[in-house]
């Protein structure tokens, strides 16, 4: 019956479009198949010392969260013969635990192998759902670009899309490089815990030669804070770039809650030059992972186009203002010339 159970479960999961529904359905069917009394899905959030129960069957059933937490973290956990547990992977790493308990029953090796196949199918389903969400967000932003909305509104559409996918808990920002100046200017920023406008909008950040060289490489950098220093994921000597973009931690009134501990820096470049930087920040070290860097990669082209549109709009606006000023001066000159000619016409015969 095990192969048929896996086939039926996989076939059902193909049509599911919501990860919560997929997890609930798989837990219910797995508990029934093993004739278990209890089942649960637990997940470990960044910065939390203990895992949380996403949902349980039946509701309000008791679970040892320490065992689930140690399993998710891949640390040594006490083996319980009447509990069968598997790992659900999401966003490129261990994300949660999927467990059932049947009191008085000892699960064997075949049962553990079957649980591994169940959680592998479930992880693949969750990955597909997350990928479909990514494509949906990109399509939505592409439609906004076709509608030619104001560039700054488009900036926030991009940041909103990234927020819904990466689940960062600190901030995201879009910075543009000032034309003919080694300066980055913050043009859009979202702070995760407030809906108010960021106080950093308009902040100008001088770019050092070292940072400029790193940004010209046009690859996504990942950083984690260790103490008071930043460390690049690949061990590259790029901590100065992270320190440059760590402007929200300066003079913070609320201390640690404003400190960034994990950061992504995605340079935005065209064929000609660097046009800006897309920055994502989280509050806990190692919260942002290579999966998030790959996700941000999908939005780099859209952000670069948005910045180019802003430059065109500002250039067009400047030309319009200049043309209007010249037109006004010409009107004034014609009016003055007419009045002077009339006065001269009256005075010359005298």
The answer to whether 37 touches 101, Cβ cutoff 8 Å, is yes
d(C-alpha 169, C-alpha 88), whole Å: 22
Give the model's pLDDT for residue 189.
Answer: 93
d(C-alpha 26, C-alpha 282), whole Å: 31
Read out DSSP for 175-227? EEEPTTSSEEEEEEEEETT--SPPTTTT-EEEPPHHHHHHHHT---EEEEEET
Cα 314 → chain centroid = 28
Quote the DSSP letter at residue 249.
G
41-55, 95-109, 331-345: segment of lowest average pLDDT: 331-345
Give the model's pLDDT for residue 131.
Answer: 92
User: Hey, is 194 helix, strand or coil?
Assistant: coil
Q: In angstroms, how far is the first alpha carbon of the chain from the final one?
A: 120
Q: Is 80 exceeded by the pLDDT of residue 77?
A: no
Q: Is 90 exceeded by the pLDDT of residue 124?
A: yes
Q: Is 60 exceeded by the pLDDT of residue 316?
A: no
User: Hey, is 94 helix, strand or coil?
Assistant: strand
Q: Is 70 exceeded by the pLDDT of residue 317?
A: no
- Specify which residues 180 forms β-bridges with: none
pLDDT (tens digit, 9 = 90+) per residue, 101-116?
998 889 999 999 999 9
The answer to whether 96 touches 44, Cβ cutoff 8 Å, is yes
Closest listed residue to residue 267, CA positions, set 244, 289, 297 = 297
Who's near 172: CB < 8 A, 6+ residues apart?
Answer: 159, 162, 163, 189, 190, 278, 279, 280, 281
Q: Is 90 exceeded by the pLDDT of residue 32?
A: yes
d(C-alpha 118, C-alpha 132), whole Å: 21
Backbone angles phi, psi at 226, to 5 degrees: -125, 105
* Two structure tokens written together for 56: 């349980």
Give the model's pLDDT for residue 302.
Answer: 77
Q: Is 90 exceeded by the pLDDT of residue 164?
A: no
**Where does the pLDDT of residue 219 fall: very low under 50, low under 70, confident under 90, or very high at 90 and above?**
confident
Give the model's pLDDT for residue 84.
Answer: 93
Read out DSSP for 53-79? EEEEESTT----HHHHHHHHTT-----
CA atoms in the 13 A half-sphere facing the CB of 311: 16
Per the document, the length of the chain is 350
Q: Is 70 exceeded by the pLDDT of residue 320?
A: no
Task: Give the pairing of strands 52-57 and 171-177.
Answer: unpaired
pLDDT (tens digit, 9 = 90+) per residue, 228-286?
899 999 888 888 899 999 988 765 555 555 789 999 999 888 777 788 899 999 999 98
Give the model's pLDDT for residue 254.
Answer: 52
Closest listed residue to residue 93, CA positions, set 260, 287, 320, 337 = 287
Mean pLDDT, to the nearest integer, of 333-344? 80
- Specify which residues 175 forms β-bridges with: 186, 277
The answer to whether 129 touches 21, Cβ cutoff 8 Å, is no
Query: Sign (positive/negative) of CA torsion 286, 292, 294, 299?
Result: negative
Residue with tokens 């005075």: 347
Give the model's pLDDT for residue 156.
Answer: 86
The answer to whether 266 touches 278, Cβ cutoff 8 Å, is yes
């Amino acid at each position: 019956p095990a192969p048929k159970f896996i086939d039926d479960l996989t076939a059902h999961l193909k049509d599911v479009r919501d990860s919560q529904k997929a997890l609930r359905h798989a837990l219910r069917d797995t508990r029934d198949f093993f004739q278990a009394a209890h089942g649960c899905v637990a997940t470990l959030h960044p910065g939390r010392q203990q895992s949380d129960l996403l949902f349980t069957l039946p509701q309000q059933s008791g679970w040892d969260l320490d065992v689930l937490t140690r399993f998710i973290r891949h640390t040594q956990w006490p083996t319980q013969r009447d509990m069968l547990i598997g790992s659900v992977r999401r966003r490129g790493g261990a994300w949660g635990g999927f467990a059932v308990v049947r009191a008085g029953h000892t699960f064997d090796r075949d049962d553990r192998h079957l649980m591994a196949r169940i959680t592998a199918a479930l992880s693949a389903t969750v990955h597909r759902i997350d990928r479909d969400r990514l494509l949906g967000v990109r399509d939505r932003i592409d439609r906004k670009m076709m509608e030619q909305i104001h560039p700054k509104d488009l900036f926030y559409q991009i940041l909103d899309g990234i927020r819904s996918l990466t689940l960062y808990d600190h901030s995201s920002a879009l910075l543009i490089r000032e034309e003919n100046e080694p300066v980055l200017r913050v043009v859009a920023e979202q702070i995760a815990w407030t809906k108010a406008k960021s106080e950093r909008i308009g902040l100008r950040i001088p770019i050092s030669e070292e940072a400029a060289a790193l940004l010209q490489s046009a690859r996504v950098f990942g950083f984690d804070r260790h103490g008071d220093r930043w460390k690049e994921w690949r061990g590259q000597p790029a901590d100065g770039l992270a320190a440059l973009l760590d402007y929200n931690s300066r003079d913070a009134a609320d201390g640690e809650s404003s400190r960034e501990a994990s950061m992504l820096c995605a340079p935005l470049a065209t064929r000609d030059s660097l046009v800006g930087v897309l920055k994502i920040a989280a509050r806990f070290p190692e919260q942002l992972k290579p999966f998030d860097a790959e996700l941000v990669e999908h939005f780099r082209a859209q952000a670069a186009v948005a910045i180019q549109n802003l430059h065109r709009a500002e250039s067009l606006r400047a030309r319009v203002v200049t043309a209007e000023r010249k037109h006004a001066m010409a009107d004034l000159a014609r009016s003055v010339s007419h009045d002077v000619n009339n006065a001269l016409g009256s005075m010359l015969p005298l």
